[in-house]
Structures are given as structure tokens and as C-alpha cells.
Chains A and B, each alone.
Chain A
Amino acid sequence: MLRFLLRRLLIAIPTLLVIATLAFMLLHLTPGGPFDSDKVLVPQIQRAIEARYHLDEPVWRQYLRYLGQLAHGDFGPSFQYRNTSVNELIAQGLPVDAAIGSAAMLLALLLGCATGLIAATRPGSWRDQLPMGVAMLGISVPVFVTAPLLILVFAMRLHWLPAGDWVAGSWRHLLLPAVALALPYTAYIARIVRSAAIDALGQPYIRAARAKGLPPHRIVLGHALRPTLLPLVSFLGPAIAGVLTGSIVVEQVFGLPGIGHLFVTGALNRDYTVVTGITVLYGALIIGLNLLVDLCYAWLDPRVRDRA
């Protein structure tokens, strides 16, 4: 198991290198640079700025310089926010996304698992069809529709919650964006749990367990839970990475200072280091979470454990 972990961590390094390289190349291939603007600068000033950010060097040197910084965990200075490093920007934005993301994930897990399990106990009945119909709606209606609707109802009409803005540590500011972000994930999780539970409960070993005279709750918890969790776990890895790094739509609608917003404005402004930095961060999160998923798999399924 330790060798498996070490091997996976070693593979992660070249993977991240490829991600960083691709992000770097693509950005530098895009026309325009961070300091192009309608306002024509005095050539000396333009040159001074470029020299300061090493943009006057050949690209391969910039690339090597960037990799050198990355190796030390330094994402470099932002090209747009004066005197601010990308590390600082991420440190400001990530906690906002992490708070909303984990609240959303928790909500989605609780609601999704409960709905999925209830639906699975009576497939085809109204207890199955009603929640699954709602779930289908949750998947099909995009967040940029549900988020303004939530604001309209709970902020504008009922005045229960603020319509946006971010106050660190305030659950009232957290709630609406978290719910908006949670809705599609709830729907996905409910559908995954339902089909996994129906599949698990139809297995011959469930009938064998019933033949021992075990009561229903022992059968569900003791025999059907693990196989139900497996597909959910593999969905959760990438989903958590996505939720933690921010949803640009939710941030935009609620006016939140997260890194999703940072990423998109960075791409538009050719803020090379911000975009590459967030890309590498996202890549590292995905790799880390997938490793976690594999560990969960090994923990849940003895057959996987033996293969590793």
C-alpha cells in the first residue's frame, strides 16, 4: 500500500509539469500580452515594465524561470494586481470558495444520499418517480437560472438573506450561494445513489443475507452500503475539486471574491501567472482527490486492496 502511494505521488510530478507547460504555452501563444492597452505608453516605460516582469526575455527563458518558481511553490507575481503575488491572490480567494464549496457538498451529500436511498427502496413507485423527476430538473436547469431565482425569492421578496457580497464567517452570506451550487450536485448524487443502491439490493448475496434471517436494516447497512458507496466515491473526487476551486457563475451572480472569478478575469487580461497558477492548483487538487478516491476504493473493496 505504501509503495502504491509513493508510485502515485511520483507520477503526479510529471503530470503537473505537463499541465503547467501546456497552460504556459497556450497563454503565450494567445495574441496580446498583459500590458497591451488602448493607451499608448511611452516606449521607455513599456520597456521598463516588460523588463521588470522578464517579458523581454525569450519565451524559453521565461518558461524555465517560471518552472523554477513553481518548484519552490511560488506561482510568481500577478501581472495585473500590482505588488501582489499569485499565492496571495489564491490565499484570499480560495477560502471563500472552500467555504461555499464544502457547505454545498455537505448539503448535496446529505440530501442526495437520502433521496437516492428512499427512491431505491421502492423503484417505480411515486417515492421513486417524484424525487427522480425533481432531480432531472436539478440537472437540466443551469445555475445561472437557479441562482438569480434564489436571490429573487429569498433576498428580494422575503428579505431573509442577503442577495450577495461576502462577509467572512457569516453563514447568512454563505447560504444562498451554497444552495445554488449544491442543487445540481444533489441531483447527480441522488441519481447515482439510487441506481447503485438498486443494483446492490438486487444482488444474489442480498438474498443470501435475507436467507440467514437478518432484518432489513442489517441487510442495508451490513451488505448493501459498501457497493452503493463505490460509484458515489468516484463521482465525488473530481466533483469536490470542481466545487473547491469555485464556480464562476455562482461567484458572479452573488458578487463573491473567489478564485473562479480571478481565473476568468486573468484569462481575459492575459494575467499569465494567475491563470497558470490556478490551473496547476486545480490539477494538483484533482490528482490529490483522485488518489484519495483510490484509497477509499481500496478501503471499501477488498478485491481492489489485493490488486494494489
Chain B
Amino acid sequence: MAEPRETLLRLHALGVAYRRDGRELHAVDGVDLELRERECLGVVGESGSGKSQLLLALLGLSAPGARLSGSIRYRGEELVGAPAARLEAIRGRRIAIVFQDPLSALNPYLTIGTQLTEGARRQLRLGRRAAASRAAELLATVQIDAPTERLRCHPHELSGGMRQRVLIAMALMCEPEILLLDEPTTALDVTVQAQVLQLLRDLRERSGVASLFVTHDLGALASMADRVAVMYGGRLVELASAAALYAAPLHPYTAGLLRSLPRLDLPLPARLPSIPGQPPDLAELPAGCAFAPRCPLVHERCTRQPDLRVLPDGRANACHFTGSATQVDAAWIRA
């Protein structure tokens, strides 16, 4: 990790807002993040935390009516408010995405071959044959057998795991610099999940593609991410290297998430602990810290919005409580 790595993506005060019933909802609120070359940055959160909205915003694919604020710089180039043609040139070519549900992300009316090749034919000006042979090559890379024959298949003829591999191959067609992974394993069986994760790790080792891995599954991230960002209610609440975060979570929410993972090194409890309450409703966010209603450490000061503070060791935490991880854990055990 000694060589200096260039920053590929730099998000500053990124916001994604929607109007609903005359009110403004902030799906993503003031997020600062950086993605460096060859890095895998994990983004964790429950549903509604804004993590998928963050990915869509990076590609300029937010739902109609979304208002983007702040800045997204790709190698220094501002993407917020960039012209449509410029975004089209970047999509798939520089920044590619693997969507969560492989069935709905594939067009049921078109062959796998058409869907794999159409991006590269446009972005790289590949001919029909060159694109098809590259597609077959990539299908082989993602461990799909008889790749040339599969190109003529339609999505319904493939299993869920195969479809997810096809989506990964599709994202790799133009050799992008950044891979956005939107819960790539959520819709899969556990055994297939493990295979897909292994595949993603191999790809990363081989091609060095940087990735932004969005998931609600801290377990899936553990083997993938260099750094992990935790999101809650549209905001970043903790950011640390994967090792530091798993060893000693500082934000009570991160600690709660980690506590609810089953552990192989300890006897399985009768019931896995969980975080009480519901994921936040963006329309009903409390005035201060969004996690306060569910937090075991909640205090008067939590009615003020905590800032994301960078600590001396480089990690960042957005909680008024400045105690140690052990103290946070103790609070959960008491709760």
C-alpha cells in the first residue's frame, strides 16, 4: 500500500433531494467521500439510508425530479450538472454499475449477447464480431460455461446466479476504472453469494478496478472492502479502514450493526441481537442526530446534528459521544 494512489472520485457535500407532498426529502445529505485507484470502498446502511441513491447520483441516473447538490468530481471533472452527452460518454465506459436485481436489470426481450455488446459497440466503437468475442471472453471470466452459446440466450433461460454474473460481465465490457456494486449479492442464494463475492475479489486482484460496494450486509463487505463508510438517514456516520471498523466501531449504529452479525468464533446466542426500532423515514427525520431514537447512548446533546469529525488516526465519526468502542459496546449490552 506504499505507492501513492490517485483519487478517482471525490464527492463533496453531495446531496440528492426529492420533493414529495410539497416537502423536500434528502435521500443523500452532505456526503463527503473519496475513492482512490484500486480501492474497494464499502458503503453500508439499512434500506432508506441513501446508499443506492448515492450510486445512482454518481452516474446521473437519479429518478426524475431528483435535485443534486454539492459536487462529484471524476478525475477532477465535475459531474454534477455535466451535459447529458458527457455523462453518456462516462457511463459504462469509465464508471460502470452492477445492479442489485439481475432479473429486472436485464431486458427480457433481448438476448444476453445484445445486452452485453450494445454498450461496448457504442462506447468503444467495436464491430459486431469483436464485441461478441469480447463478451464471450468475459462470460468465461465470470465462469459461465459455453459462453458463445449463452450469447444467444434470453435472460429467462439463465439461473439467478448466472444472470448476476452476466451483469458483472456487462459492467466489465468497456474496462471501466470504477465499478459500482449495488448490493450485487442480495438477490442470490447464500452459496451463490459466496461464489459471486469470490469472483469479485478475483476480478479486483486481476484488473485492479476500483469499486464502490454498496450493501446492507457487513459480512459480505468484510472480505472485500479496504475502507467502509456507514450511512444512516442519508448521511455518513462513520468512515474507517475495514480492519479498524470491524475491530472497534465508534458510532453506536455501526456497533449495533456489527453486534447483529452472527459470529463464527463465539458460541451462537439463542437470539441474534438486533437494533430496536425501524430504519428512519426520510420524511420524519428528527431534528438532531437521525439515529438518536434508536441509540442506547442518546443524550440531550443529540438533538443537535453531529458533524462528521476526522479523528487523529484518520477515521471519521459523526457522534457526540466521544468515548471508546468498548464504552459503545457496553451501552449496547446494557440496552
Q: Which DSSP category, helix, strand, loop or mixed, fits chain A's interface?
A: helix
B106–A227 touching, CB < 8 Å: no
B105–A212 touching, CB < 8 Å: no
The 9 closest A-B pairs by CB, nearest first: A212-B119, A213-B91, A204-B104, A212-B92, A213-B92, A205-B107, A302-B154, A208-B105, A226-B109
B109–A212 touching, CB < 8 Å: no
A214 CB to closest chain B CB (Å) equals 6
A229 CB to closest chain B CB (Å) equals 10
Taken together as a complex, chains A and B put the C-alpha atoms of A222 and B106 apart, in Å, by 13
A204-B99, A218-B122 as given contacts; A210 in contact with B61, CB under 8 Å: yes
Interface residue tally for chain A (C-beta within 8 Å): 22
A209-B107, A300-B109, A302-B109 as given contacts; A214 in contact with B156, CB under 8 Å: no
Q: Does B331 contact A (CB under 8 A)?
A: no
B92–A211 touching, CB < 8 Å: yes
Q: Does B110 contact A (CB under 8 A)?
A: yes
A sample of 9 more A-B contacts (CB under 8 A), given A204-B99, A207-B56, A212-B96, is A208-B106, A209-B107, A211-B96, A212-B123, A213-B91, A222-B110, A223-B107, A301-B108, A302-B111
Q: Does A215 contact B (CB under 8 A)?
A: yes
Name A residues whose Cβ lies closer than 8 Å to a Cβ of B.
203-205, 207-215, 218, 222-223, 226-227, 300-303, 306
Taken together as a complex, chains A and B put the C-alpha atoms of A209 and B107 apart, in Å, by 9
Contacts of B170 in A (CB 8 A): 212
Q: How large is the interface on B (under 10, 10 to 19, 20 to 34, 35 or more residues)?
A: 20 to 34
Contacts of A306 in B (CB 8 A): 154, 156-157
Contacts of B115 in A (CB 8 A): 209
Q: Does B32 contact A (CB under 8 A)?
A: no
B88–A214 touching, CB < 8 Å: yes
A204-B101, A302-B156, A306-B156 as given contacts; A213 in contact with B89, CB under 8 Å: yes
Q: Does B118 contact A (CB under 8 A)?
A: yes
Contacts of A300 in B (CB 8 A): 109
B156 CB to closest chain A CB (Å) equals 5
Name B residues whose Cβ lies closer than 8 Å to a Cβ of A.
56, 59, 61, 88-93, 96-97, 99, 101, 104-111, 115, 118-119, 122-123, 154, 156-157, 167, 170
A219 CB to closest chain B CB (Å) equals 10
The residue on B at minimum CB distance from A205 is: B107
B107–A211 touching, CB < 8 Å: no
- Which of A205, A211, A303 counts the most chain B CB atoms within 10 A? A211
Taken together as a complex, chains A and B put the C-alpha atoms of A167 and B120 apart, in Å, by 57
B88–A301 touching, CB < 8 Å: no
Contacts of A211 in B (CB 8 A): 59, 61, 91-92, 96-97, 99
Contacts of B91 in A (CB 8 A): 210-213
A214–B99 touching, CB < 8 Å: no
B65 CB to closest chain A CB (Å) equals 10
A213-B91, A306-B156 as given contacts; A203 in contact with B104, CB under 8 Å: yes
Taken together as a complex, chains A and B put the C-alpha atoms of A298 and B149 apart, in Å, by 21
Contacts of B92 in A (CB 8 A): 211-213
A120 CB to closest chain B CB (Å) equals 13
The residue on B at minimum CB distance from A216 is: B84
The residue on B at minimum CB distance from A303 is: B156
Taken together as a complex, chains A and B put the C-alpha atoms of A272 and B255 apart, in Å, by 85
Taken together as a complex, chains A and B put the C-alpha atoms of A205 and B163 apart, in Å, by 13
A207–B61 touching, CB < 8 Å: yes
Contacts of A226 in B (CB 8 A): 109
Taken together as a complex, chains A and B put the C-alpha atoms of A212 and B59 apart, in Å, by 10
B182 CB to closest chain A CB (Å) equals 10
A306 CB to closest chain B CB (Å) equals 7
B104–A205 touching, CB < 8 Å: yes
A302-B154, A302-B156 as given contacts; A213 in contact with B109, CB under 8 Å: no
A and B contact pairs by CB, cutoff 8 A, 17 listed = A203-B104, A205-B107, A207-B56, A207-B99, A208-B99, A208-B167, A211-B92, A211-B96, A212-B170, A213-B123, A218-B118, A222-B110, A300-B109, A301-B108, A302-B108, A303-B154, A306-B156
A223–B104 touching, CB < 8 Å: no
A55 CB to closest chain B CB (Å) equals 57
Taken together as a complex, chains A and B put the C-alpha atoms of A203 and B109 apart, in Å, by 12
Taken together as a complex, chains A and B put the C-alpha atoms of A207 and B109 apart, in Å, by 15
Contacts of A303 in B (CB 8 A): 108, 154, 156
Taken together as a complex, chains A and B put the C-alpha atoms of A208 and B170 apart, in Å, by 10
B319 CB to closest chain A CB (Å) equals 35
Taken together as a complex, chains A and B put the C-alpha atoms of A212 and B105 apart, in Å, by 12
A213–B99 touching, CB < 8 Å: no
The residue on B at minimum CB distance from A122 is: B64
A241 CB to closest chain B CB (Å) equals 27
B59–A222 touching, CB < 8 Å: no
A204-B104, A214-B119 as given contacts; A301 in contact with B109, CB under 8 Å: yes
Taken together as a complex, chains A and B put the C-alpha atoms of A2 and B101 apart, in Å, by 36
B104 CB to closest chain A CB (Å) equals 4
Taken together as a complex, chains A and B put the C-alpha atoms of A222 and B108 apart, in Å, by 12
Contacts of A302 in B (CB 8 A): 108-109, 111, 154, 156
